[in-house]
Amino acid sequence: MRPLDPRLLQQARAARRYVVLTTGLGVATTALLVVQSLLLARIIAGVAMDGESFADVRDMVVGLGIVLALRAVLVGVQERFGHRAATAVVRQLRERLIQHAAAQVGLKHQNGAETALLATRGLDALDGYLTRYLPQLLLAATLTPAVLVVIWWEDWIAGLTVLLTLPLIPFFMALIGMASQDAADRSLNSLQRLGTHVLDLIAGLPTLRALGTAGAQASRVRAAGDAHRRATMKTLRTAFLSALALEILVTLSVALVAVGIGLRLVHGTLDLQTGLAVLLLAPEVYAPLRAVGTHFHASQDGLAAAQQAFDRLEQPLPIRGTQPAPDLSQTTISFENISVQHDGVPYATPAGLSATIFPGEVVALTGPSGCGKTSAVAVLLGLRQPSGGQVTLAPDGALADLEPESWWRQIAWCPQHPVLMPGTLTENVTMLRPSASVEEIREAARVTGFEDVVRTVPGEWDARVGQGGIGLSAGQRQRLALTRLLLSEAQLVVMDEPTAHLDAGSEQAVLTLLTELRRRGRTVVMVAHRPSLIAAADRVIDLSARRAPSLIGNPS
């Protein structure tokens, strides 16, 4: 990533304002620094060489105090607004990254755990870049050349010395930076691998515990953690080496200027005021570049994360339709030769699926695992683009031409693992219809059997559940999701094996729900395995034989 990537200014409005503010503060800081050095040199030279009293230099001392106070104010402003701007920039980048990832439904996705880690820990590391590195970079672009011009004006020999030694700092910074960039990339990649592994392990922990293999994963997590530790320590070693090299270079460069000034002062070819002014200004020429090198390595993790974020934001989005969705209570939905190709699978599942779903009927998608039931549902929901074929809507139109939000507003979706938001049970069951009355909530809970669950929870309807449904079992969460479906006013209800986490006795609640949805004229599409659920459907679509050779390279 370049020191100031233009994409940062394009993707985050707060970054543009921050760059303008920091540049303005840099110009003001440069002017105050020059005035401070010249005043201090004039005061010292006047007292030491000309025997001036305090009364003679009082005005200059007061001016020097004002300059110092103004510099302190500017530093405070920089710190205050720097952290605010960094927070705003990271927030805007995170929002854009999440929105972009959400808008990419229908494409082959990158690892979800990597995206989550990039949007959280990855972009958080950008704070050091914005609050430390970027201000020093802008100071190097404003203060360094301005102070060099002042030094050259005061003493061209010292100016020439500074000009010849100045390029050594960016040269060595570039040499060390090439190595540190690779180290930072490896560190971020190792962190992503670690995060992905841990998140996948947490998601599959119930299965691993059921199989008795949960303990065997400890060594893999430990190995991933050790790899990240080694990558991080290598980055730190490179940063310390860079800081040491820069300190030595700056010290030697300032020493060359000081030696030259000292010799000429001894020989009387340079006056004290000019020599002091140059000596005070010389370190300030190198200071921004030295700070850039120091903070550059501290911000490498953030830069690497920003690079990945920008790369993902530049990925093209799927083409979305613009037509409003028709009324699904009067629309016939047809799968026309639908095929879905999966990565690493030599055949499409489903392949050549052709079926029709009429308004108000209950349809069951059946077949063994791996035959494409979930993929067919994802195509119906508009969450995945088929490799071949299309979904059409009668009397006319196609799903691909519809504006997604207008389509989703008429659909209620119940996955095998329902999502619960932190809040009360009432807030969760009314998620799809916040205006539902108390009587409607109680009636829906009675139909689905969720009222029995509510009675067992302390606080009943006012009880709070956490992220992932803390305090509710898998079957209880499923009942809550069914209640949510019944309360919604969506015309199309899509369910993925609604009895997956219910015992045989609780199946009746689902069958009662289907009867109620049929009575209300809702269209229901469900993935079903249990015979009782299949028998409750008006029609069955069997996907067991719908496999075909790979469509890779020849999608229709």
pLDDT tens per residue, range 334-350: 888 888 877 666 666 77
Which residue, chain included where needed, has tokens 């990158």? 110
Answer with the residue of higher pLDDT: 503 or 272. Answer: 272
Do 336 and 251 reside in the same domain of the chain?
A: no
In a domain, 318, yes or no: no
pLDDT bucket at 181, cuts 50 / 70 / 90? low
**Model pTM above 0.75:** no
Residue that is last in its domain, among 287, 313, 339:
313
Structure tokens at 143: 């203060």
pLDDT bucket at 2, cuts 50 / 70 / 90? low
In a domain, 391, yes or no: yes
Do 535 and 401 reside in the same domain of the chain?
A: yes
Amino acid at 510: V
Q: Whole-angstrom Cα distance, residue 6 to residue 536? A: 59
In a domain, 398, yes or no: yes
Do 224 and 369 reside in the same domain of the chain?
A: no
pLDDT bucket at 153, cuts 50 / 70 / 90? confident
pLDDT at 551 over 50: no
What are 107's strand-pairing partners? 105
Determine phi and psi for 182, rounding to 5 degrees. -65, -40
pLDDT bucket at 294, cuts 50 / 70 / 90? low
Q: Are strands 411-414 and 353-357 parallel, antiparallel or unpaired?
A: unpaired
Do 153 and 212 reside in the same domain of the chain?
A: yes
Q: Whole-angstrom Cα distance, residue 3 to residue 547? A: 51
In a domain, 523, yes or no: yes
| Each residue's pLDDT tens digit, 515-546 | 888 888 888 898 888 888 888 888 888 887 55
What are 82's strand-pairing partners? none
Sign of the CA dihedral running 477, 483, 485, 487: negative
Do 265 and 332 reside in the same domain of the chain?
A: no
Angle of the 272-298 helix axis to the 218-267 helix axis, nearest 10: 170
| Residue 10 CA from chain centroid, whole number | 16
pLDDT at 64 over 80: yes
> Which has the minimum average pLDDT: 48-52, 103-107, 127-131, 419-423?
103-107
pLDDT at 144 over 70: yes
Region of residue 367 (phi > 0: left; psi between -120 and 50: alpha; otherwise: beta): left
In a domain, 322, yes or no: no
| Residue 421 CA from chain centroid, whole number | 20
pLDDT at 555 over 60: no
Answer with the residue of higher pLDDT: 164 or 104. Answer: 164
In a domain, 323, yes or no: no
Do 354 and 214 reside in the same domain of the chain?
A: no
CATH of the domain at 435: 3.40.50.300
CA geometry: angle 6, 12, 18, nearest 5 deg: 85
Residue that is last in its domain, among 266, 286, 313:
313
Sign of the CA dihedral running 430, 436, 437, 443: negative
Q: Look at residues 287, 253, 251, 260 and name the one whose alpha carbon lies nearest to residue 158.
A: 260
| Each residue's pLDDT tens digit, 453-501 | 888 888 788 888 866 556 677 778 888 888 888 888 888 988 888 776 6
Q: Whole-angstrom Cα distance, residue 508 to residue 511? A: 5
Amino acid at 436: A
Determine phi and psi for 544, rounding to 5 degrees. -65, -30
Domain that holds residue 353: 328-549
Q: Look at residues 174, 172, 98, 83 and name the one whose alpha carbon lies nearest to residue 134.
A: 83
Q: How many other C-beta atoms are found inside a 10 Å radius of the C-beta of residue 1?
A: 18
Region of residue 542 (phi > 0: left; psi between -120 and 50: alpha; otherwise: beta): beta
In a domain, 343, yes or no: yes
| Each residue's pLDDT tens digit, 358-377 | 988 988 888 887 788 888 88
Region of residue 497 (phi > 0: left; psi between -120 and 50: alpha; otherwise: beta): left
Residue that is last in its domain, among 285, 313, 341:
313
Do 269 and 391 reside in the same domain of the chain?
A: no
Answer with the residue of higher pLDDT: 281 or 499. Answer: 281
Do 124 and 167 reside in the same domain of the chain?
A: yes
Residue 547's pLDDT is what?
47
Answer with the residue of higher pLDDT: 331 or 345. Answer: 331
Q: Whole-angstrom Cα distance, residue 194 to residue 221? A: 7
CATH of the domain at 38: 1.20.1560.10
pLDDT at 33 over 50: yes
| CA distances (Å), origin 178, targets 171, 182, 385, 504 | 11, 7, 41, 63
Do 169 and 29 reside in the same domain of the chain?
A: yes
Do 419 and 485 reside in the same domain of the chain?
A: yes
Residue 264's pLDDT is what?
84
Q: How many other C-beta atoms are found inside a 10 Å radius of the C-beta of residue 183?
A: 22
* CA distance from start to end of the chain: 39
Q: Are strands 423-424 and 464-465 parallel, antiparallel or unpaired?
A: antiparallel
Do 408 and 457 reside in the same domain of the chain?
A: yes
Residue 556's pLDDT is what?
33
Mean of the per-residue pLDDT values for the chain? 77
DSSP string, 446-508: HHHTHHHHHHTSTTGGG-EE-TT-TT--HHHHHHHHHHHHHHS--SEEEEE-TTTT--GGGHH
Which residue, chain included where needed, has tokens 């922990």? 205
Domain count, the chain: 2
Do 242 and 351 reside in the same domain of the chain?
A: no
User: Which residues, at least 6 apart from 230, have a Cβ–Cβ distance to it below 8 Å?
Assistant: none
Residue 505's pLDDT is what?
59
In a domain, 99, yes or no: yes
3-state secondary structure 87-156: HHHHHHHHHHHHHHHHHCEEECCCCHHHHHHHHHHHHHCHHHHHHHHHHHHHHHHHHHHHHHHHHHHHCH
Q: How many other C-beta atoms are found inside a 10 Å radius of the C-beta of residue 45?
A: 18
pLDDT at 552 over 50: no
Contact (CB, 8 A) for 485 and 414: yes
pLDDT at 553 over 50: no
| CA distances (Å), origin 357, targets 60, 128, 338, 353, 555 | 88, 55, 14, 13, 25
DSSP string, 318-360: PP---BPPP-GGG-EEEEEEEE---TT-SEESS-SEEEEE-TT
pLDDT bucket at 180, cuts 50 / 70 / 90? low
User: Which residues, at least 6 apart from 55, have a Cβ–Cβ distance to it below 8 Å?
Assistant: none
User: Which residues, at least 6 apart from 185, have a Cβ–Cβ distance to it below 8 Å?
Assistant: 304
Q: Whole-angstrom Cα distance, residue 285 to residue 163? A: 10
Q: Look at residues 174, 134, 142 and name the one whose alpha carbon lies nearest to residue 292.
A: 134
